[in-house]
A and B are shown apart, each in its own frame.
Chain A
Amino acid sequence: QKEVEQNSGPLSVPEGAIASLNCTYSDRGSQSFFWYRQYSGKSPELIMFIYSNGDKEDGRFTAQLNKASQYVSLLIRDSQPSDSATYLCAYRMDSSYKLIFGSGTRLLVRP
């Protein structure tokens, strides 16, 4: 079983819609969760991090964490074509320096 599971996509949504990206993880010791955005040919950049169960909002982005069910999601409201990218989910265990990355979900926002 992969440590971090993400649907590879592409997830295609129309401009202005809500994009929902999901990620499940296998390690119950995970403490910190991250969403990175990666444009084609570019390096990852942090979108959101979340530590506690529940929702965390930052502008058009909302991260949702459910530790009991071992999933974390990212909602993008009012999706824009510029949001088209691959979104990488990652987690870190409290005792480790290591980030475990998923393979990413490719998002395509249609104008």
Chain B
Amino acid sequence: NAGVTQTPKFRILKIGQSMTLQCTQDMNHNYMYWYRQDPGMGLKLIYYSVGAGITDKGEVPNGYNVSRSTTEDFPLRLELAAPSQTSVYFCASSYDRGAAGGSGETQYFGPGTRLLVL
């Protein structure tokens, strides 16, 4: 199993450009998440999905869009990039939300995409 894979690893964007961050998991997980991590900070949830065709906003969704057409893929779209979107983006997946006492909600993270907007 490759686990959670993300592409690209690093990208420089100019202000106003758009791009799509790719995320794929091969663990047949229902739940997928996009986080951003600013330097010295914890992770903030951007969007999440509980299954193909179902997505919802997290804490910081403005400036981003997602889609989930398959169980495996969960791309994150940045429209009109801004310097405030300079960050490291992590995709994660889990089997389920988890009932208390279970390990199914363990989130597995991809290696991250470092994005610089200039």
Interface string of A29-69 (1 = CB under 8 A from B): 00110000000001111100101100000000000000000
- Consensus secondary structure, chain B interface: loop
Quick one: which of A44, A52, A98, A104 contacts B90, CB cutoff 8 A?
A44
A88 to B106, CA, bound (A): 14
- Taking A4-B42, A98-B59 as contacts, is the C-beta distance between A92 and B112 under 8 angstroms? no
Question: Residues of B within 8 Å of A, CB-based: how many?
Answer: 26
- Complex contact A8–B42 (CB within 8 A): no
28 sampled A-B residue pairs with Cβ under 8 A: A32-B98, A32-B100, A42-B111, A42-B112, A43-B90, A43-B111, A43-B112, A44-B43, A44-B90, A44-B109, A46-B106, A49-B103, A51-B100, A51-B101, A52-B101, A90-B43, A92-B97, A92-B98, A92-B105, A97-B56, A97-B97, A98-B59, A99-B43, A101-B42, A101-B43, A103-B40, A103-B42, A104-B42
